[in-house]
């Protein structure tokens, strides 16, 4: 046998058979789940662990006794999977401090469910969700008995009952009868729902700085409706998501319910500080040296209005934003906002100063966030050697976005999608007619311990009557830390006859990256990027690839990338520095 194959076989055996310093236990003939449970039940393994830990000598008589006892251990381990009549044969080799115990198992015929009898009694016997579980128990006669499925059925019945307000629901009969000789089983359940309980009055305890009626808009609890623990939890999440409180606790007081069985609910809260300040400094390849100063007023008044002020100066891109947000609707995040923004940026010989005022209505629609907005902007810019230009645009727009990740800072599984469409017209205070759309897709999947694959795709297009009148902020450029690495920020775009960068109408970028967190907070990355901007839909792509270093911090990951561009004549390696947060 070739050496590589021999090593592979040894690795497989080591992975599937627990081995200790003096004893190697092997179970053969079972599926993976049954095998795992068999190893977990074998007392000979517990003995081996204790002997190895104490560095004692093995007792041959005890080893042989536990070997035989292991046959019963395996039989018991197979019962939850519906195997009640297995044949188990054991064998022992070795001696002293070096033993090999082998169990060969034939699971035998499966135990099949022959009868299912589920009865619901009490006030809620006709409650539809309970009857749905009864009619669709996810167990069927003729199928192999599995104890976890039986336990799951009991849990579903209790969950359906308590979700409908039957808080005293209890089983008066719960039997799993197994005829070992006939290899059959009967499932016999009877649930008494007891009386139905309802929500009573809701009291919100807070410091009085917010209107009580404002907070009640977000309650999922309605007095008089059947008590539902999921609505209690949903109310807690909703109030926490408002960002007014650092602690929200709901206390149902069942003991204070009257003859009408209405349970009062008290909501205890602890407020966050009314203001939060943010300061920071750093460096990014796209921005150069940069700083951050910000202040957020979490609650300006008793109506819960918020104000956010942010100043981000840097060498290449500087922004100042003031946003006033008014909560609107009954879902956290729904709001009406008014925003003023200033932007100054210098890249690839293009200089731009932009001021804008806007308003937006943001609404959470299920898992998707919708945003309708209207922005008026005044833009002054220079394109390479051209004289100063100016542009005024009134742009209505709509955007849709959704994020589904297991961790907002360092996700290992999830995705993000957003689509934005906006435009302007000379009929409505704009200097040019245009419609622009941008689609962004990002995702991440785990590949193994500490290993993940990230992907990114962007597609954009602008349809405009006079491209020369469109400011740089509405044109497309590619290249940089979050685009095609290996190229400078916004260096990929069409140029004029003199070779000056002017931007384009169509954008395409894509990226694939493998991240490996190999030691504590340290990681490595390998990536490949492609993308470009053109004046035709068939965008000419530029390619880059390279290696990166990652250091994970509580607020994100520091990224240092060395990327090689594949365009002829381009510099061999381009350094990219930045901080990655989420996708």
Instruction: Looking at the structure, tell me whether residues 128 and 205 fall in a common domain.
Output: no
338 within a domain of the structure (yes/no) = no
Instruction: Looking at the structure, tell me whether residues 425 and 559 fall in a common domain.
Output: yes
Instruction: Looking at the structure, tell me whether residues 99 and 125 fall in a common domain.
Output: no
- Positions of the chain with pLDDT under 70: 1-21, 385-386
255 within a domain of the structure (yes/no) = yes
List of residues 6+ apart from 547 with CB closer than 8 A? 524, 525, 526, 527, 561, 562
Question: For residues 20-57, b (16+ Cβ closer than 10 Å) or e, as one string?
Answer: bebbbbbbeebeeebbebbbebbebbebbeebeeeeee
| CATH number of 37's domain | 3.10.20.310
- Residue 200: its pLDDT value, please? 96
Instruction: Looking at the structure, tell me whether residues 525 and 548 fall in a common domain.
Output: yes
Instruction: Looking at the structure, tell me whether residues 85 and 220 fall in a common domain.
Output: no
Q: Per-residue DSSP letters for 260-271?
A: T-EEEEEEEEEE
427 within a domain of the structure (yes/no) = yes
Instruction: Looking at the structure, tell me whether residues 402 and 480 fall in a common domain.
Output: yes
* H or E, element range at 193: none
Instruction: Looking at the structure, tell me whether residues 180 and 204 fall in a common domain.
Output: no
| CATH number of 445's domain | 2.40.160.50
Q: Are 395 and 377 in contact (CB under 8 A)?
A: yes
- Count of domains in the chain? 4
- Residue 385: its pLDDT value, please? 59
310 within a domain of the structure (yes/no) = no
500 within a domain of the structure (yes/no) = yes
pTM, 2 dp: 0.78
Domain ends where: 271, 288, 323?
A: 271
Instruction: Looking at the structure, tell me whether residues 72 and 206 fall in a common domain.
Output: no
Return left, alpha or beta for 411; rule: phi > 0 is left, psi -120 to 50 is alpha, else beta. Answer: beta
For residues 498 and 305, what is the distance between their CA atoms, to the nearest angstrom?
A: 52
- Residue 288: its pLDDT value, please? 84
Token pair 């308003």 in the structure block, residue: 359
* H or E, element range at 211: none
267 within a domain of the structure (yes/no) = yes
Instruction: Looking at the structure, tell me whether residues 501 and 378 fall in a common domain.
Output: yes
- Residue 283: its pLDDT value, please? 85
Mean pLDDT across the chain:
91
For residues 261 and 199, what is the distance between their CA atoms, to the nearest angstrom?
A: 8
Residue range(s) defining the domain that contains residue 421: 362-580
- Residue 67: its pLDDT value, please? 93
What confidence tens digit (pLDDT) does each residue in 434-464 have?
999 999 999 999 998 899 999 999 999 999 9
Long-range contacts of residues 373-377, Cβ cutoff 8 Å, at least 24 apart: 373/397, 373/398, 373/399, 373/422, 375/422, 376/429, 377/473
235 within a domain of the structure (yes/no) = yes
Domain ends where: 192, 224, 249?
A: 192
- Residue 9: its pLDDT value, please? 33
- Residue 432: its pLDDT value, please? 93
Token pair 């002293």 in the structure block, residue: 96
- Residue 1: its pLDDT value, please? 39
Long-range contacts of residues 35-43, Cβ cutoff 8 Å, at least 24 apart: 37/77, 37/78, 37/80, 37/81, 38/73, 38/74, 38/77, 38/78, 38/103, 38/105, 40/77, 41/73, 41/74, 41/76, 41/77, 42/70, 42/73, 42/74, 42/77, 43/69, 43/70, 43/73
Domain ends where: 271, 292, 307?
A: 271
Instruction: Looking at the structure, tell me whether residues 74 and 219 fall in a common domain.
Output: no
Instruction: Looking at the structure, tell me whether residues 130 and 241 fall in a common domain.
Output: no
From residue 364, give the alpha-carbon distance in Å to each of 198, 400, 428, 492.
29, 10, 29, 36
Structure tokens belonging to residue 107: 């699971």
Q: Are 496 and 384 in contact (CB under 8 A)?
A: yes
328 within a domain of the structure (yes/no) = no
How do 306-312 and 87-95 pair as beta strands? unpaired
Instruction: Looking at the structure, tell me whether residues 42 and 89 fall in a common domain.
Output: yes
For residues 92 and 127, what is the distance between their CA atoms, to the nearest angstrom?
A: 58
């Amino acid at each position: 046998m070739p050496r590589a194959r021999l090593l592979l076989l040894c690795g497989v055996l080591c992975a599937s058979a627990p081995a200790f310093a003096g004893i190697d236990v092997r179970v053969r003939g079972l599926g993976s789940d049954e095998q795992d449970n068999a190893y977990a039940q074998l007392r000979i393994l517990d003995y081996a662990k204790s002997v190895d830990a104490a560095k004692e000598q093995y007792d041959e008589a005890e080893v042989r006794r536990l070997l035989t006892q292991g046959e019963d251990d395996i039989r018991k381990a197979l019962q939850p999977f519906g195997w009640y009549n297995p044949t188990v044969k054991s064998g022992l080799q070795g001696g002293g401090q070096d033993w090999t115990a082998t169990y060969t198992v034939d699971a035998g015929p499966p135990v099949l469910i022959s009868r299912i009898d589920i009865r619901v009694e009490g006030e809620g016997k006709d409650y539809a969700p309970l009857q749905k579980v009864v009619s669709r128990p996810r167990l069927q006669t003729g199928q192999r008995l599995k104890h976890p499925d039986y336990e799951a059925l009991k849990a579903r019945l209790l969950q359906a009952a308590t979700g409908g307000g039957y808080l005293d629901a209890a089983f008066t009969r719960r039997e799993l009868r197994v005829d070992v000789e006939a290899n059959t089983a009967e499932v016999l359940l009877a649930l008494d729902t007891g009386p139905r309980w309802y929500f009573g009055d809701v009291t919100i305890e807070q410091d009085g700085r917010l209107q009580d009626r404002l907070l009640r808009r977000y309650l999922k609890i309605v007095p008089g409706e059947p008590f539902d623990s999921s609505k209690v939890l949903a109310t807690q999440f909703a109030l926490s998501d408002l960002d007014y409180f650092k602690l929200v606790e709901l206390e149902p007081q069942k003991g204070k319910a009257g003859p009408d069985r209405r349970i009062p609910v008290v909501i205890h809260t602890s407020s966050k500080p009314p203001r939060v300040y943010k300061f920071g400094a750093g460096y990014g390849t796209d921005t150069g040296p940069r700083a951050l100063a910000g202040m957020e007023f979490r609650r300006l008044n008793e109506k819960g209005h918020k104000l956010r002020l942010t100043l981000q100066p840097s060498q290449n891109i500087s922004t100042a934003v003031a946003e006033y947000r008014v909560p609107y609707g009954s879902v956290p995040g729904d709001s009406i906002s008014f925003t003023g923004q200033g932007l100054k940026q210098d890249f690839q010989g293009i200089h731009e100063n932009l001021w804008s005022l806007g308003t937006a209505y943001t609404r959470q629609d299920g898992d998707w966030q919708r945003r309708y907005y209207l922005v008026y902007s005044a833009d002054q810019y220079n394109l390479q050697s051209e004289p100063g230009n100016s542009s005024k645009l009134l742009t209505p727009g709509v955007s849709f976005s959704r994020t589904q990740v297991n961790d907002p800072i360092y996700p290992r599984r999830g995705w993000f999608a957003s689509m934005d469409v906006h435009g302007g017209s000379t009929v409505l205070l704009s200097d040019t007619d245009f419609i622009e759309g941008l689609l962004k897709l990002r995702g991440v999947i785990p590949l193994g311990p500490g290993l993940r694959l990230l992907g990114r795709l962007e597609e954009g297009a602008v349809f405009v009557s006079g491209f020369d009148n469109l400011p740089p902020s509405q044109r497309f450029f590619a290249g940089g830390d979050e685009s095609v690495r290996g190229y400078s920020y916004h260096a990929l775009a069409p140029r004029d006859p003199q070779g000056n960068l002017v931007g384009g109408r169509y954008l395409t970028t894509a990226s694939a990256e493998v991240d490996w967190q190999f030691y504590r907070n340290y990681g490595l990355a390998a990536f490949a990027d492609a993308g470009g901007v053109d004046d035709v839909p068939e965008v000419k792509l530029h390619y880059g690839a390279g290696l990166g270093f990652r250091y994970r911090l509580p607020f994100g990951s520091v990224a240092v990338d060395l990327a090689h561009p594949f365009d002829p004549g381009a510099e061999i390696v381009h350094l990219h520095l930045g901080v990655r947060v989420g996708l």
